[in-house]
Amino acid sequence: MELCYNRTSPQKRMEFPMQLLVGSCLAILIVITLCGNIIVCLAVILDRRLRSLTNCIIVSLAITDLLLGLLVLPFSAFYELTKEWPFGSTLCNIYLSLDVMLCTASILNLFMISLDRYFAVTTPLRYSQLVTRSRVAVGLVVIWTVSLMVSFLPIHLGWNTSGTAVQNNDSKECMLDVNTPYGLVDALLTFYIPLVIMCITYYRIFKIAREQAKRINHTWCSSSNTPMPPMVKEHKATVTLAVVLGAFIVCWFPYFTVFTYRGIRGKCTVDSTVMSIVLWLGYANSALNPILYGTFNRDFRVAYQHLLHCRRTRDPRISCLPPLQKAQSRGRNCQQGQSSQEGKPLKLEIRNGKGILLNDGALKST
């Protein structure tokens, strides 16, 4: 089947049963994206154990996915179902700019996370000197600035079109036009080059982590009652982030392959079915990241449990309190229990010839 064709007629709207099925799936995906990334942000904010510089970048990634779910996915779902854009060309270009900006921010956030993990594993003694709050803050500002510059600027100046005019003027369609320079530059700078650097970085991380793990296995006798060494925890976090990166590659590589193909072929349009599959496969990555955090990272998993439902304890009134308040509450309960025992008569319970003092003045025999 020819992947690229010249668009001569408007896209055909899908039938109602298929429209209902696709709409339900897209709605579920959007809800998972919103709820999952909100939980990630709340978990890092409310759980002190997750307040690290690495997790600040993860929060930035979650905010990116959350904004994608709020500002882009509802319009994408509507356009997918109706095959029409009734909101005008100005809102269409803003929507496309937000889409490009947030996807670029996700890539750069993952790139920054890979660098953070690289310094944490390769130079653990100098990590606190290399990765500081000011540098992380500057990195996040650069990420969002670059993402803004490669999205709103080219689209609103018409750099992505074949001519000099801005795209989608008085059109019922809303698709990103891609010429050869924009397609190649955007794909290389925002996906392929960062992807290659991240793969090299993680390869070196895994190589060092495997060597260190071998040494740890020879010097550390692990058991269920022995706490895990910090280095092992560091390696588990690295594996988690590598899985997140792998999921990102699987989700977004098909889209950028098609995107680059469109740029090279010039004036052509990819089949709408193929374009929808690769586009929503990429969007699915925004819903997948929070699930990966909860599955592979124990700290996030515990934070999710405390956030979604307080664990049942003997005293339900203190089950949701922080550790210090729990200890203070238990101390008050203990003092109240001791004071309530005062002034009450004791009873002696005889069991197998041994006496047990109780508090109601009665005597039992066995």
Same structural domain, 358 and 254: no
Please check whether residue 65 is in contact with residue 286, taking contact to mean a CB–CB distance below 8 angstroms: yes
Q: What is the secondary structure of 75-126 as a DSSP string? A: HHHHHHHHS--TT-HHHHHHHHHHHHHHHHHHHHHHHHHHHHHHHHHH-TTT
Q: Which residues, 6 or more positions from 89, have their beta carbon under 8 angstroms from its beta carbon?
A: 166, 168, 169, 170, 171
Percent of the chain with pLDDT over 70: 71
Look at the chain and report how many structural domains it folds into: 2
For the purposes of burial, counting CB atoms within 10 Å of the CB of 40, is it exposed (0-12), middle (13-18) or buried (19 or more)?
buried
Flag the least confident range among 75-79, 87-91, 281-285, 334-338: 334-338
Same structural domain, 239 and 352: no
Same structural domain, 73 and 177: yes
Distance separating alpha carbons of residues 304 and 155, to the nearest angstrom: 39
Buried b / exposed e across 50-64, counting CB within 10 Å, b at 16+?
bebbbbbbbbbbbbb
Looking at the domain assignment, is residue 336 inside a domain? no
Inform me whether the pLDDT recorded for 329 exceeds 50: no
Distance separating alpha carbons of residues 195 and 188, to the nearest angstrom: 9
- Return the pLDDT at 361: 42
Of 241, 145, 140, the C-alpha closest to 198 is: 241
Give the chain's mean pLDDT.
78
Mean pLDDT, residues 46-67 taken together: 90
Of 3, 29, 6, 2, the C-alpha closest to 268 is: 6
pLDDT in tens, 256-303: 999 999 888 876 667 888 999 999 999 998 898 888 876 777 788 888
Please check whether residue 106 is in contact with residue 188, taking contact to mean a CB–CB distance below 8 angstroms: no
- Identify the band that residue 307 occupies on the pLDDT scale cut at 50, 70 and 90: confident
Inform me whether the pLDDT recorded for 32 exceeds 90: yes
- Return the pLDDT at 255: 93
Distance separating alpha carbons of residues 98 and 100, to the nearest angstrom: 6
Same structural domain, 282 and 327: no
pTM (predicted TM-score): 0.76
Looking at the domain assignment, is residue 181 inside a domain? yes
Q: Which domain holds residue 323?
A: 316-331+341-364
Distance separating alpha carbons of residues 120 and 99, to the nearest angstrom: 32
Mean pLDDT, residues 15-25 taken together: 91
| 189 or 97, greater pLDDT | 97
- Return the pLDDT at 364: 45
Mean pLDDT, residues 300-313 taken together: 72
Of 190, 159, 191, the C-alpha closest to 176 is: 159
Distance separating alpha carbons of residues 163 and 182, to the nearest angstrom: 12
- Return the pLDDT at 328: 46
Please check whether residue 366 is in contact with residue 352, taking contact to mean a CB–CB distance below 8 angstroms: yes
Same structural domain, 355 and 267: no
- Return the pLDDT at 234: 56
- Return the pLDDT at 118: 87
Same structural domain, 60 and 77: yes
- Return the pLDDT at 99: 94
- Return the pLDDT at 235: 61
Q: Which two tokens stand for residue 358?
A: 């109780």
Same structural domain, 188 and 69: yes
Flag the least confident range among 99-103, 198-202, 292-296, 313-317: 313-317
Looking at the domain assignment, is residue 2 inside a domain? no
Same structural domain, 357 and 229: no
Mean pLDDT, residues 12-37 taken together: 91
pLDDT in tens, 110-162: 889 888 888 888 888 899 899 999 999 999 999 998 898 889 989 988 888 88
Unique residue bearing structure tokens 């895994």: 206
Same structural domain, 178 and 267: yes
- Secondary structure (3-state) at 169: coil
Same structural domain, 236 and 347: no
Looking at the domain assignment, is residue 100 inside a domain? yes
- Return the pLDDT at 150: 85
- Return the pLDDT at 121: 82
Mean pLDDT, residues 175-192 taken together: 89
- Return the pLDDT at 281: 93
- Return the pLDDT at 196: 92
For the purposes of burial, counting CB atoms within 10 Å of the CB of 213, is it exposed (0-12), middle (13-18) or buried (19 or more)?
middle
Helix (H) or strand (E) segment spanning residue 349: strand 347-351
CATH number for 150:
1.20.1070.10
- Return the pLDDT at 216: 67
Looking at the domain assignment, is residue 206 inside a domain? yes
Across the strands, what pairs with 364? 349
Looking at the domain assignment, is residue 1 inside a domain? no
Same structural domain, 212 and 299: yes
Q: Which residues, 6 or more positions from 204, have their beta carbon under 8 angstroms from its beta carbon?
A: 118, 122
Looking at the domain assignment, is residue 6 inside a domain? no
Mean pLDDT, residues 25-39 taken together: 95
Same structural domain, 291 and 324: no
Distance separating alpha carbons of residues 124 and 245, to the nearest angstrom: 22
Looking at the domain assignment, is residue 4 inside a domain? no
Listed as own residue / partner, the contacts of 295-299 with beta carbons closer than 8 Å and 24 or more positions apart are: 296/236, 296/239, 296/240, 296/243, 297/236, 297/237, 297/240, 298/236, 299/47, 299/49, 299/50
Inform me whether the pLDDT recorded for 227 exceeds 60: no
Inform me whether the pLDDT recorded for 167 exceeds 50: yes
